Amino acid sequence: MKPRSAPPIDLGVLSELAPELAETFVSLASDIALVLDAGGVIRKVAQAGTGPLAPGAGDWVGRNWAETVTGEARVKIEQLLREVAASGVTHRSEINHPSPNGADIPIAYAAVRLGAGGPVLAVGRDLRAITAIQQQFVEAQQEIEREYWKHRQAESRYRVLFRVATDAVLVVDSESLRILDANQAANDLFGIELERLIGMDLASAIDASSRPAIGEMLATARATGLSGEIRAWLAGRKVSARVSATPFRSAHAMLLLVRARALNAGAETTDTRDRLIKLVERTPDAVVVVDAAGRVLMANPAFIELAQFGDESHAKGRHLADLVGTGLAEVLAATRNRGIATGRELTLRGLRGRLAPIEVSATVLAEEEQESIGLTIRVRAGDGANGTGLHAQASELATAIETLTDQLGRLGLTELMASVSKNAERHFIQAAMKLADRDRSAAARILGVSAAELDRRLRNDVESSGHGSDGVSNTQH
């Protein structure tokens, strides 16, 4: 025999107790309770303590419930009333009430009908604390996303400037694969003089073990018009490098812009970004990236100092021609046409009118989303941002030579030349350290020696003189 189900509870017996039930619900488990008649008019308002809507909610008695909510919530009230009339109970719905201070008050309501034709009891919970937590969570997420994209943009900026300053760039004929042009960094990386490098078959500069892969990458780039990148061994010095090829159409032919960057033990570690930042921030060469019209997109601190901008934000959007003037248009045009321009001698005029003879090299950044050109600017010997200090050092060198001149007759030519050589070496090391902002690695690159060789010369100077020269010998790495 099937057990008989319990008959439904008739809540009509509680209809007379609706006001008392409202107070009970508020005291036990809710923040506000409303007693409504069949037409949705409020007959009783009960709140816990001061309540989420006090004191204004006390004035709702005699008003339609839908009149107490914000405009978009009226549809929800009508749905709740239809639902409770049909089934006697409703799901929970979030309703916003307007507030005198301007901020809407969210309340989650559920309603129950006390018997057929009886009053409706609507019980609500204040959601402001939950809403505040949700808003804080959303704001925290948005801040994390903003910081993430700022980090990505900064990292992208450093990588672009790093490439402009250090990448070996080769312009290669897409048919013959002969090298048509190259920058100084290519000479340094491949260990081949530019005079020999230009005109060589690219394969000759690549180790035999990597030539098939390089050939396939170049063929794919030429056929598809898309960039490619692989790791390869370079000939001669047996250097492992990251090599990329990007199709580039000049005025007369299809070219390939080949970029190469040496890989070393530390290149792929987690502090890569810190290494990039350090190099970009400390390199003595001014590095700037401009758009097709010559407007500055990004620059390193050396450029900001040389051009006498306050910071990078003041440089962005400025026309580089305002600083360089005559000759820049030809450099940019040659770069767009051929992919690279090297060793162009121009004059830079800083914002405060200071003139500096400069050597400019430029290359197309074909892999970027927008057409852009990266330029490295090097102040020619004897001039620069630290010109006053360098001229002062040159004066000290001249004084030292004058002092040695007084020794004629007392010292032989060999001894005099040894002293001159020693003083000249100290002078050039001090000048390089000043240009490199005391960074020994950068100073070694300026001098064309290894960091170990520069350290050895600095130690010898300390041992022979007993103290550092202008603090150079005591400078830390």
pLDDT of 54-78, one tens digit each?
Answer: 667 778 888 999 988 888 889 999 9
466-475 average pLDDT score: 42
- Residues 6 or more apart from 127 whose CB is under 8 A from it? 94, 106, 107, 108
Residue 162 confidence (pLDDT): 76
Residue 464 confidence (pLDDT): 63
Whether the predicted pLDDT of 148 surpasses 60: yes
373-393 average pLDDT score: 61
Listed ranges 312-326, 415-429, 455-469; the one with the highest mean pLDDT: 312-326
Model confidence at 213, in pLDDT bands (50, 70, 90)?
very high
Cα–Cα distance between 303 and 289 in angstroms, integer? 10
Instruction: Please identify, in words, the CATH class of the domain defined by 12-126.
Output: alpha beta
- Residues 6 or more apart from 55 whose CB is under 8 A from it? none
Model confidence at 236, in pLDDT bands (50, 70, 90)?
low
DSSP code at position 41: B
* Fold agreement (12-126, 167-268): yes
Answer for the pair 392, 430: CB distance below 8 angstroms, yes or no. Answer: no
**3-state SS class at 265:** coil
Whether the predicted pLDDT of 6 surpasses 70: no
What tens digit of pLDDT does each residue of 347-361 get?
877 666 667 788 888
Answer for the pair 11, 88: CB distance below 8 angstroms, yes or no. Answer: yes
Instruction: Please identify, in words, the CATH class of the domain defined by 167-268.
Output: alpha beta
Whether the predicted pLDDT of 102 surpasses 80: no
Domain ranges (residues) in the chain: 12-126, 167-268, 387-465
| CA separation, residue 74 to residues 97, 110, 266 (Å) | 10, 15, 64
